[in-house]
Structure 1
């Protein structure tokens, strides 16, 4: 139905109505392939390889993809296979389970120092709030102990 109101005197706008629409733009991974030449001696069979240009990243996964993998397997506690499926469904990435394990290990290493700093800070505090949570992982019982203090949780 279309409702119209006719007003026969000047009016002042008292308020405006609005509507919000949220959309996520299409996400497409950027895949860059680097190549170097390999030469093999026809006489002795020895091989030599070219060197990678300066700035070629090490590993197969960039920092944003690594962050998503770590978020899925760490914070969300998804299995590697489920993480593999999420990456495929959301971004069209086809990665092996082994490829998903590498960024996990790298993220763990990068977080060692900040975790140690947080641990030291909490231990110095006069008061901390503690929680213990258990679950099964890989058929074994696992535990997570959490300590929260001012500025660290």
Structure 2
């Protein structure tokens, strides 16, 4: 032999269920004439039950990876040869919910008192009815809450809230407002591609340049001269955009009375003008 050639294969062993039996001694006290049974470990409540690892995986698969209930049941059967009843999984979810109650409160408190937080909402269907998922987040914490009402916003917020200009956010008291540039970029993309408005592409480039400037100066203030230059370009793009819309024919009014309707790009320009 002149040497050895090695090859390694990393793999996961086939999963299998392990059974741990707990035995509690039962004794009779001749002094008090009572039968006394030793205590079982915490969480061991039934003659036969699944353990904490199965419970943890069930909650993790369902809520971290959004696996539907029927597929989750199939997954446990395929991998481990066990069938978790719907009622069993529901009990696991309730235990997790109760256990995380204090953590949820700490996340909510951290988000409410953060100097800057992001707010958003989206609708979805539950049992045929519309529900609203509200989210409030920072760089390190995210808080979700669900309500049948879209206007069910958090109270007790402080600092600056960043959002998409939904009017109800302006009803929040005790906060400063900033608008989300990611939403602006989505709107600018549509205006550039569908409405072919020239100012929109220029504003898109400027917002991206400003973001790169912020990243480049992450650990110190952006130079005043740079801020002044970006601001001047921002104002010029808005002036050019408003001038462009002045050259377009007015949109027809839907009724005999009311304010003259504006195009999507025109509305965005005024928003960028008032909320820069």
Please classify the TM superposition score into its range, dividing by the shorter chain length: 0.5 to 0.7
Equivalent position of 1:57 in the other structure: 44
2:16 aligns with one of 24, 28, 33: 28
Shift of 1:31: 3.0
Alpha-carbon distance in structure 2 between the residues aligned to 1:61 and 1:139: 34
Structure showing greater Rg: 2
Question: Is the counterpart of residue 87 in structure 1 residue 87 in structure 2?
Answer: no
Shift of 1:52: 6.4
Structure 1: state its 5+ residue gaps. 1-17, 37-48
In structure 2, the CA distance between the partners of 1:53 and 1:79, relative to structure 1 (3 Å rule), is same
Between the aligned partners of 2:17 and 2:132, the Cα distance in structure 1 is 36
Shift of 1:20: 6.8
Secondary structure in 1 aligned to 2:125?
strand
Per the alignment, do residues 73 and 31 of structure 1 end up closer, same or farther by CA in structure 2, a change over 3 Å counting? Answer: same
1:71–1:134 distance in 2 versus 1, CA, 3 Å? farther
Q: Following TM superposition, by how much is the alpha carbon of 1:35 offset from its aligned partner in structure 2, in angstroms? A: 8.0
Number of residue pairs matched? Answer: 124
Between 1 and 2, higher relative CO (CA 8 Å, sep ≥ 6) is seen in: 1
Structure 2 counterpart of 1:143: 132
RMSD: 3.0
Question: Judging changes above 3 Å, is the alpha-carbon distance between structure 1 residues 35 and 19 closer, same or farther for their aligned structure 2 residues?
Answer: closer
Task: After TM superposition, list the pairs within 5 Å mapping 1:1-153 onto structure 2.
Answer: 21-32=9-20, 51=37, 53-55=39-41, 57-58=44-45, 60-153=49-142
User: What CA distance in whole angstroms lies between the structure 1 residues aligned with 2:85 and 2:36?
Assistant: 27
Higher helix share: 2
Unaligned runs of 5+ in 2: 1-5, 25-34, 143-276
**What's the TM-score, normalizing by structure 2?**
0.39
Deviation sequence 1:50-81 (CA, Å, 0-9, x none): 85643262363322211111122222233322
